[in-house]
Amino acid sequence: MTTTLHLAEVTAANLEDAIGVRVRGDQEHLVEPVVRSLAEAYVHPGVAWPRLILDGDRVVGFLMAFFDIDFAGDGTGKDIRSGLWRLNIAAGEQGRGYGRFAVESVAAEIRRRGGTRLTVTWHPGDDGPEGFYLGLGFRATGETSGDETVGELELELELDR
């Protein structure tokens, strides 16, 4: 079976599909629901990049990236970053490479825009996605953002370690 993985903009025509993406019940405390991400994208135009993850014509997940934000939030502009803001892979679709595809897609878009690193945050703990991100080559920076661990991937590195 061949797959055709691709991203699609969220539009009026696929909004219900986007809102319908749900992670497993035991993961709901780790990632905001898609509807919250779409609300944040609405109030942060030009920064938020929400996309559906499709396998053929089937919606399998949702991602939202961010581009060129003042990560420190101090207004100095000395710490400008781009990265993965949200990743929601539908409960029945996990473990099939869709998360890896999402990270690779965000990395490609950051490279296209001239960036050289991808930032992500995750909730620490055994039930969180830390192993997934570390397995893709991210390294914890030692920073936190709220109660989340900050990780980075230098985009010169290959994701298929």
Q: What is the pLDDT of residue 3?
A: 67
- The tens digit of pLDDT for each residue in 82-136 reads 999 999 999 999 999 999 999 999 999 999 999 999 999 999 988 899 999 999 9
Instruction: Name the burial class of residue 44, with classes exposed (0-12), middle (13-18) and buried (19+) by CB atoms within 10 angstroms of its CB.
Output: middle
DSSP letters, 81-149, are EEEEEEEEE-GGGTTSSHHHHHHHHHHHHHHHTT--EEEEEE--STTSSHHHHHHTT-EEEEEEETTEE
How far does Cα 45 stand from its chain's mean position?
A: 17
Q: Hunting for tokens 């539009």 — which residue is that?
A: 11
pTM of the model: 0.92
Q: What is the mean pLDDT of residues 51-65?
A: 98
Q: Does the structure show a pLDDT above 60 at 79?
A: yes
- The tens digit of pLDDT for each residue in 63-74 reads 999 999 998 888
